[in-house]
Amino acid sequence: AKLPGDGKRVSWHQDASYWPLSPSKVVTAWLAIDDVDEENAAMQVIPGSHLHAQLPFRSSDETEQNVLDQTVDSPERYGEPPVTLALRAGQISLHSDWILHGSEVNRSKRRRCGLALRYLSSDVRAFNGWNQHSVVCRGDDPSGHWANHPRPATEHVPRKGMDEDTVSAAWSAPAPDFDRR
């Protein structure tokens, strides 16, 4: 999430340079929880930049206020002019792990929140334990490389450390009135 006034940006980068995956064949589905526009720092992409595979990057320094630690300089060299991905809450954008993307500072008084889901084929291999938290969405993985956590056996999920009275009180409490604007 990008909160109003936090002064943070996400520099131009490729997701592939952060993940220990090979081959790099990942699609990110970014689900907008809030409405996202230029004012509250919608993601921008450089069309065509995914055709270059891995691009040179440098480490960001603290003065850049970059949420991440990598920056690809002069992104316009690698594709067309930036395109802003404005989304309404509930809409998604899909992008390759090779595409250059980033976002500016949230200049609005609104939060910008989204959920990123990564999809990849079962022939992709992960290193450093990155395959331990995955779900096989379709078909199977005959190699067994990707862990597929079993579904709960019942609809009741155990609540560790919470007794029945605590759970009942939590479920019967009025929902907080969140103002997203």
pLDDT at 159 over 60: no
Compute the CA torsion angle 123, 85, 3, 180 (nearest 10 deg): -110
- Give the homologous superfamily in CATH for domain 10-145: q2cbj1_9rhob like domain (2.60.120.620)
Q: For the chain, which residues make up each domain, given as ranges?
A: 10-145
Show the DSSP H helices in the chain as ranges. 164-172
- Can you tell me whether residue 94 is helix, strand or coil? strand
What is the DSSP code (8-state) at residue 112?
Answer: B
Over residues 18-46, the pLDDT tens digits come to 888 889 889 999 999 999 999 999 999 99
pLDDT at 172 over 90: no
pLDDT at 180: 44
Q: What percent of the chain has pLDDT over 70?
A: 83
Q: How far is CA 85 from CA 45, 94, 101, 153, in A?
A: 8, 10, 10, 40
pLDDT at 84 over 80: yes
Which residues on neighbouring strands pair with residue 118, listed in sequence order? Answer: 28
Is 0.85 topped by the overall pTM? no
